[in-house]
Structure 1
Amino acid sequence: MNVPRRPLTLLAALIAGAALAWVPAAPASAATVPVSTASASAATSSAASIGAMASLGDSITRGFNACGFYVDCPSRSWSTGSSQTVDSHYLRLLATEPSLVAHNDARSGAKVADLPGQAERAVSQGAGYVTILMGANDACTSSEASMTTVAAFEAAFRTAMRTLTTGLPTSSIFVAGIPDIRRLWEVGKDSSSARTAWAALGICQSMLARPRSTDQADVDRRERVHQRVAEFNAVMARVCEEQATCRHDGGAVFGYPFMLSHLSRWDYFHPSAAGQRLLAEVTYRAVPDL
C-alpha cells in the first residue's frame, strides 16, 4: 500500500496523541531472507525442488509498519519473512527445503503497473515459487477518481503473468486477493485513533474520507471503491486460472473478516505483526501442492 508523506511535525503530533502499549522490534532491511529454523508445517513433499521463492507486491508484502515506525519490515512479511512471529510461507516451506532462498521483490507504494518489472526480477532470480499480492494501491488512492481502471489493471497483470509463465514455465505461482478495504473502514470508523491517523496522514481517501458520514454520497462512494477492489480480484482470478501453474486464493483474503487488532497502530492501515501472521495463515491454506 502507499506510504503517505506528511511533515514530521504532524507525524510527531499523531504519535504523541496515541496510546501505544507496544514496543517495536528492530526492522529488517535485507530483501533476501537468510535461512532460519522452520516451524512445523504442512509443506508439500515436492517442496525440495523449489530452490528459490520470490514475493511480488506492495507495502503489505514488505511488512511496512509491522515492526517499526514508517519502515519496511520484510522480516515480518507474510510471504518471505524470517520472523517466527509471522510464520511466513518461507518458514513453512523451510521444513522440507532447508536451503530455500527467498527474495522479497515487493516495493512499498507499488501499483499493478510496477508488477511486470517485479516479475522480471523474479525470473532473473530463477524462483520456483512466486507469490503475488498486488492492487490495494490501485483502489486506495487520494480520491475515487484517481483509482486505476479495470482495463489498465488487467493489462498490467496479464503482462506480468506472461513474463512469469514464459520465463519460469515450471514454477508455481500463487495469487492472493486484495484485502477488502471496506472492511478496513468498518473496523476503524468508530476508533478515534484510527480516524485521526487516516485524516492526518491522508490515508486511502477514496474509501476512508469522512469515515463517520452516513450521507448517501459517501455511502455510494464506499460501495463503488469496494466494487472496484472486487473487480480487480476477479481479473486476477480469471487471468491466473488461464495458466496451469497459477493458483488463486479463491477469495480467502478478500472475504476474511479481519479485526482492528490486525492493523498497525502506527497508521491503522497496514497489517501489524498479528495481521501479517493472519495473512500468512489464510493464504497458506490456499496454496496448492508445489
Structure 2
Amino acid sequence: MRKRSGRATAVLAVLVTAVLSVAGCDATGGDSPAPRGTEAKQGKPSPRPTPTWDRSPSSVAAVGDSITRGFDACSVLSDCPEASWATGSREDVDSLAVRLLGRTQAAERSWNYARTGALMADVAGQMAQAVTRKPQLVAVMAGANDACRATTSAMTSVADFRTQFEDAMSTLRTALPKAQVYVASVPDLKRLWSEGRSNPMGKAVWKLGICPSMLDDADALDAAATLRRDTVQDRVEAYNEVLEEVCEKDRYCRFDGGAVYEYRFGTEQLSRWDWFHPSVNGQARLAEIAYRTVTAKKA
C-alpha cells in the first residue's frame, strides 16, 4: 500500500506540474492580451517615429500674388521681388529663404512663381511651375485679390475658393507627395484701409484700381460703405478658415494660425506709394511670421 501510494503521489506531482506549466503559457500567449507598460518596454524596443516636419528645408519655392512679388515695396506700381518676404535677397527684409538657407544658398535654391494680380484660381498653375524645381518647402500667400474685386458680388465664392486651393494642393501632391507647405493667412484688408486712408497720395493711387471693393470712396463712412467693407472683411475671414481647414488635412502643411491676418500693420509697414501693400519693413515682418511658423517645434 505504501509503495502504491508513493507512486500515486509521484504521478500526481507530475500532473500538477504539467497543468501549472500550461496555465503559465496561457498567461502570456494564446488568446491573452500582449504585455503592456513596463513589461512591453522590456521586450523589443519600438522604433522612434519619423518626424513629419523638417524645420530646416534646403530649398524654397513661393507662389501667390502681388504681396509675394514685393509690389510697391521699392517703387510705385512695380514688382520688387528682391524685397519679397518669401524669397527676397535684400538684407533689410531677411526673407524666409535667406533665414532658412543662408544668403548664398537662397540665391541658388529659392524660386518665386507668384504673380501680381493672381487669384487663388491661378495658384495651381504656379504650383505646376514650382514642382519642376522639386522644392522641399512651398510658401503660399494668396486670397487678397479674390476679395479685392470691382464689387463685393464679384468676389470669389467661398466654395470656389476652397476648390481652387484644393486643386493647387493636389497639383503639388501629385508631383511631390512629401514637399512641405507653409500657408499664410490673408491680411486684414479693412485694417489696411483704416491705416492708409489718412494719406492723400495713397488714396490717389487707390483710385487707379487697387482693391476697389474695400478702397473705393475711401473717406465714405455711411451705412452702404460700411456694409461693403464689412462684407469684404467677412469674406477674408471665411477664406482664412478654408486655408486652415484644407491645410489641416495635409500632414506636411502648416497654416500660420491667422498670424498675418492678425498682424497690426502700421504706416511704417505700408508702402509709401500706395499705403496698402507691405513696405520693405512690412515684408520683413511677414518673413518673421513665416520663419517662426516653419521652424516651430509644433504647428
Residue matched to 2:291: 284
CA 1:71–1:115: 2 relative to 1, 3 Å: same
Equivalent in 91, 104, 111 of residue 84 of structure 1 = 91
Matched residue, 1:259: 266
Query: Per the alignment, in what secondary structure is the counterpart of residue 294 of structure 2?
Result: coil
How far did residue 118 of structure 1 move? 0.8
In 2, Cα distance between the equivalents of 1:273 and 1:202? 22
- Give the whole-Å Cα distance in 1 for the aligned partners of 2:239 and 2:54: 33
Q: Which residue in 2 is equivalent to 1:196?
A: 204
Partner of 1:139: 147
Question: Using the alignment, how far apart are the partners of 1:233 and 1:88 within structure 2?
Answer: 23
2:34 maps to 1:53: no
Letter in 1 for 2:128: E
Question: How many correspondences in the alignment?
Answer: 244
Match of 1:206 in 2: 213
Between the aligned partners of 1:205 and 1:58, the Cα distance in structure 2 is: 16
CA distance in 2, matches of 1:197, 1:68: 13
1:214-229 correspondence to structure 2 within 5 Å:
214-229=221-236
CA separation of 1:237 and 1:45: change in aligned 2, threshold 3 A:
closer
Matched, 1:245 2:233: no
Q: Are the counterparts in 1 of residues 61 and 130 from structure 2 also a CA contact under 8 Å?
A: yes
How far residue 269 of structure 1 moved from its aligned partner, in angstroms, is 2.0
Specify whether residues 223 and 281 from structure 1 end up closer, same or farther in structure 2 by C-alpha distance, changes over 3 A only.
same
Aligned to 2:277: 270
CA contact (8 A) 1:247 1:288 kept: no
**Within 5 A, what are the aligned runs for 1:36-47?**
47=56
| Higher helix proportion (structure 1 or 2) | 2
1:125 aligns with 2:94: no
Q: Give yes or no for contact 2:113–2:130 (8 Å, CA) kept in 1.
A: yes
RMSD: 2.0
Give yes or no for contact 1:69–1:266 (8 Å, CA) kept in 2.
yes
Task: Find the aligned partners of 1:209 and 1:70 in 2 and give their Cα distance.
Answer: 18
What is the SS of the residue equivalent to 1:108? coil
Task: Give the alignment's TM-score, normalised by structure 1.
Answer: 0.79
Largest Rg, 1 or 2? 2
Find the counterpart in structure 2 of residue 234 from structure 1.
Answer: 241
Q: Which runs of 5+ in 2 are unaligned?
A: 1-52
**CA offset at residue 62 of structure 1?**
0.7
Q: Work out the CA distance in 2 between the residues paired with 1:98 and 1:190.
A: 41
User: In 1, Cα distance between the equivalents of 2:175 and 2:230?
Assistant: 38
How far is 1:193 from its partner? 2.4
Native 8 Å contact 1:45 1:96 kept in 2: no
1: distance between equivalents of 2:79 and 2:103?
28
User: For residue 121 of structure 2, what is the aligned residue in structure 1?
Assistant: 113
**Alpha-carbon deviation of 1:163?**
1.5
How far apart in 1 are the matches of 2:105 and 2:128?
A: 25
Query: Distance between the aligned counterparts of 1:170 and 1:194, measured in 2?
Result: 43
SS at match of 1:286: helix
Distance 2:218 2:288 in 1: 30
Give the SS at the match of 1:82. coil
Q: Which amino acid aligns with 2:99?
A: R
Distance 1:163 1:45 in 2: 21
Q: State the 1:96 CA deviation.
A: 10
Q: What's the CA shift string for 1:166-189, capped at 9, x where partnerless?
A: 321121100000101000111122
Which amino acid in the other structure matches residue 158 of structure 1? E
The Cα shift of 1:45 comes to 7.9
Which stretch of the first structure deviates more once superposed, 142-151 or 75-84? 142-151
Partner of 2:28: none
Aligned-partner Cα distance in 2 for 1:244–1:97: 30
Separation in structure 2 between the aligned mates of residue 148 and residue 264 of structure 1, nearest angstrom: 26
